[in-house]
């Protein structure tokens, strides 16, 4: 059985890698992180609500930010604009580590409430792009 932290890190890394599949060639690491957290937020808000997600994110950011200041460069993650220090330039590796650390911190926080296994699975599913609910050009109405 995989222990808590390595499993959380492995899932966070898989989520990061999957986020690359939805990127365009011109997208950078910041855009990748922004998209990943947008899909994670959309998924988690269904289960824990908007205020629950905001609380989970803010607590996780408070845990991660001191060790990973590159987190401030990922759009829409930190809600308090006073914490963002202008246009801070950091390398892509530091941004990637910050995003993964934040995902792990979110799993830890949520795991403290609903259990690690469920928290890991819920965040993983929330951050995974889904084809459900997508619109297409094809007419699929079966009622005549």
Q: What is the DSSP string of 63-96?
A: HHTTT-GGGGGSTTT---GGGS-SS----HHHHH
The structural domains of the chain, with segments of one domain joined by +, span 4-126
Query: Around Cβ 133, how many Cβ atoms within 10 Å?
Result: 5
Q: 81: how many CB neighbours lie within 10 A of its CB?
A: 6
In order, the DSSP letters of 29-73 are HHHHHHHHHHHHHHHHHHHHHHHHHHHHHHHHHHHHTTT-GGGGG
pTM: 0.78
Per-residue pLDDT of the chain in tens (144 residues, 90 and over written 9):
456 789 999 999 999 888 877 666 556 788 888 888 888 999 899 989 999 999 999 999 999 999 999 889 888 787 654 444 445 667 888 889 999 999 999 999 999 999 999 999 999 988 776 545 444 445 444 454
Amino acid 82: pLDDT: 41
The pLDDT assigned to 110 comes to 94
The pLDDT score that the predictor gives to residue 78 is 78
CB atoms within 10 A of CB 68: 20
């Amino acid at each position: 059985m995989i222990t808590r932290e390595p499993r959380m890190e492995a899932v966070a890394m898989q989520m990061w890698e999957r986020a690359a599949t939805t990127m365009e060639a011109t997208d950078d690491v910041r855009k990748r992180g922004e998209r990943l957290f947008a899909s994670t937020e959309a998924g988690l808000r269904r289960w824990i609500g908007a205020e629950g997600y905001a609380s989970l994110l803010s607590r996780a950011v408070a845990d991660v930010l001191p060790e990973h200041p590159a987190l401030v460069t990922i759009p829409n993650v930190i809600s308090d604009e006073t914490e963002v220090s202008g246009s801070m330039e950091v390398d892509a590796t530091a941004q990637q580590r910050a995003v993964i650390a934040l995902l792990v911190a979110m799993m830890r926080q949520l795991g403290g409430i609903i259990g690690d296994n469920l928290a890991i699975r819920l965040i993983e599913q929330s951050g995974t792009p889904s084809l459900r609910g997508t619109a297409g050009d094809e007419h699929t109405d079966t009622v005549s």
